[in-house]
Structure 1
Amino acid sequence: MKKNKAIFLDRDGTINIDKDYMYRIEDFEFEPKADEALKILNDLGYILIVVTNQSGIARGYYTEQDVQTLHENLSKILKEKNINISKFYYCPHHPTKGIGEYKLDCFCRKPYPGMILKGIEEFNIDPSLSFMIGDKLSDVEAGLKANVTSVILKTRNDIDFSSLSENILIFDSLYDFAINLKKLNNN
């Protein structure tokens, strides 16, 4: 059976502007041209899968239902633009700041690859044809551990990009990545 190719995406700072502990759709704001980027990636035949750490759940700032509601609303907005996110995975845990059952050092929290590996299995993904895109070192570490190509975006200013391994691709934005991937696919 033929394997699929996927783009695994961090959410905050990659798809939307990172607003600390955002969980309401009225606070959601796309990174510049991120929705256009998602459309390009979808049109190139990639399955889009969001993998996001949500320590705000662990800290008691909002609930798992709040995150699920945000993802349902975001999915609806994107569907109106003919963009399909196949799955939203989120990690509700934090190893030190979590409360109760959420205080856990788990395999799903990036930099561990748990969410990506789950997506690879669930959607029959070929890691060698797939990417993990994020704005933090934990995103690219998770991608490397899952054997997908890791991409870091320059949407943050607290990373020394010159110190990164050469197997990590660096782009200014999700849109910049999508345009470059489209050019490669057209050659």
Structure 2
Amino acid sequence: MILAGGLGTRLGERTRDTPKPLVTVAGRPFLDHLVGNLARFGFERVLLLGGYRGERIAGYCHDASRFGPILSCLLEPEPAGTGGALLQARDALDEEFLLLNGDSFFDLNLLDLALPGADETENGERPLARVALRRIADAGRYGTVELAGGRITAFAERPAGGGEAVINGGIYWMRRALLERIASTPCSLERDVLPGLAADGRLAGRCYDGAFIDIGIPEDLGRAQELLPRWTRRPAAFLDRDGVLNVDHGYVHHRGHFEWVEGAVDAIKLLNDRGYYVFLITNQSGVARGYYDEQAVRALHGWMGEAMRRRGAHLDDIRYCPYHPEGTVEAYRRPSDWRKPAPGMILDLMRHWPVEPAGSFVIGDTATDLQAAEAAGLPGHLFRGGSLLHRVREVLGGR
């Protein structure tokens, strides 16, 4: 869910007729940046909680299907506060859900925030919420957070004169049972709910060091115009599949035939955590040879995605080539510039995503993978087996 009901009064004329989350940033509504990022991590349903100029939020839902997730909107009939908006959405919530502030961008592995950790067993009780935290150099605009281990113990007022501190980054992984802490509306999640959870030991926090900006004041809105395009342009890791992510048993095409390579999912999560785009590029000549069809390829990739997300990892996009010049299925019997060693899959991904070539690389287990990398102008790294996590760390320089 995205909280999109604020007035945005500090932005003056910019929000006179426009809800703050729809203010244009880098040529697009700010919500585009948030919804597009959720799509990267595999979220399929997004609920916008609107208030001020709610009809504009509702209209945005109808126009934003291009991202992939199904968007819907719930408008509060009168101002209910951030906690009240959450309470009104009770019937739409899963048992666990992600909640984002609609006026801030925080670049982190959203799936990591959902993973159980040490905070799951402290005092025998699971936290009701986990907050993404950010250490910033000047916390003068924000309330601060006190953290002990994995638990938030208290919230404090803005430090006089600013200075370095840990702040609430405006992204939460929550359990629906938290709604029992909201007795009435209007209610502020930040002022009325979270401090009580912290006092009871039911609020966890994790610090991340990704890019962060809040567009609530004109100065930071101006900075976001330049920074967001820069932040979304990032290096990418292009990974072969058979022999790199999974053991190559020969024309692997269903989950019963699939075996993860040691450290494969952890390697992908490491790249996610470091802010890389992670792409899968795979020749699938088994389609052209009639061993299986494209639906089998897509089904296996869907299952892989679900398995990775449960462990805090994800692929940003996938390209596969079903063609082969010696195929037995006529529709697929032809050469293709997507088939490695040609670089077509890599180049297509670089056209569709804001990939920064500097720092990008390919990992494969054959010479054709490295030839495709060279043809695309990227370094290629050979994987000879063992732990993919270890190999990725080597490629990243041991980091």
**TM interval, short-chain normalised:** 0.7 to 0.9
Unpaired runs of at least 5, structure 1: 156-171
2:326 maps to which of 87, 96, 105: 96
Conserved 8 A contact 1:4-1:123? no
Give 1:97 shift: 2.9
Give 1:99 shift: 2.1
Could you tell me how far apart the structure 2 residues matched to 1:87 and 1:147 are?
A: 20
Could you tell me how far apart the structure 2 residues matched to 1:79 and 1:121 are?
A: 26
Q: Secondary structure at the match of 1:49?
A: strand
Residue 107 of structure 1 pairs with residue 337 of structure 2: yes
Conserved 8 A contact 2:266-2:313? no
Conserved 8 A contact 1:133-1:150? yes
Letter in 2 for 1:175: L
Q: Which residue of structure 2 lines up, in the alignment, with residue 129 of structure 1?
A: 359
Q: Which residue of structure 1 lines up, in the alignment, with residue 309 of structure 2?
A: 79
Alignment of 1:154-173 (within 5 A): 154-155=384-385, 173=387
Residue 117 of structure 1 pairs with residue 117 of structure 2: no
Conserved 8 A contact 2:362-2:381? yes
Alignment of 1:63-78 (within 5 A): 63-78=293-308
Conserved 8 A contact 2:341-2:368? yes
Give 1:182 shift: 4.8
Could you tell me how far apart the structure 2 residues matched to 1:53 and 1:173 are?
A: 22
The structure with more radius of gyration: 2
Q: Which residue of structure 2 lines up, in the alignment, with residue 174 of structure 1?
A: 388
Give 1:28 shift: 1.1
Unpaired runs of at least 5, structure 2: 1-228
Conserved 8 A contact 1:54-1:91? yes
Give 1:127 shift: 1.9
Q: Which residue of structure 2 lines up, in the alignment, with residue 55 of structure 1?
A: 285
Could you tell me how far apart the structure 2 residues matched to 1:84 and 1:101 are?
A: 31
Q: Which residue of structure 1 lines up, in the alignment, with residue 252 of structure 2?
A: 22
TM-score, scaled relative to structure 1: 0.85
- Give the superposed CA RMSD: 1.4
Q: Which residue of structure 1 lines up, in the alignment, with residue 272 of structure 2?
A: 42
Could you tell me how far apart the structure 2 residues matched to 1:14 and 1:90 are?
A: 15
Could you tell me how far apart the structure 1 residues matched to 2:274 and 2:313 are?
A: 12
Q: Which residue of structure 2 lines up, in the alignment, with residue 142 of structure 1?
A: 372
Moved over 3 A (4+): 181-185
Change (3 A) 1:173 1:110: farther
Instruction: Considering Cα pairs closer than 8 Å and 6+ residues apart, tell me whether 1 or 2 has the greater RCO.
Output: 1
**Count of residue correspondences:** 169
Give 1:24 shift: 0.4
Could you tell me how far apart the structure 2 residues matched to 1:180 and 1:145 are?
A: 23
Task: Select the structure that is richer in strand.
Answer: 2
Letter in 2 for 1:5: P
Q: Secondary structure at the match of 2:281?
A: strand
1:86-134 alpha-carbon deviations (Å, 9 max, x no partner)? 1111000001234202011110000000000011111111222201110
Could you tell me how far apart the structure 2 residues matched to 1:121 and 1:62 are?
A: 29
Letter in 2 for 1:78: M
Change (3 A) 1:182 1:128: closer
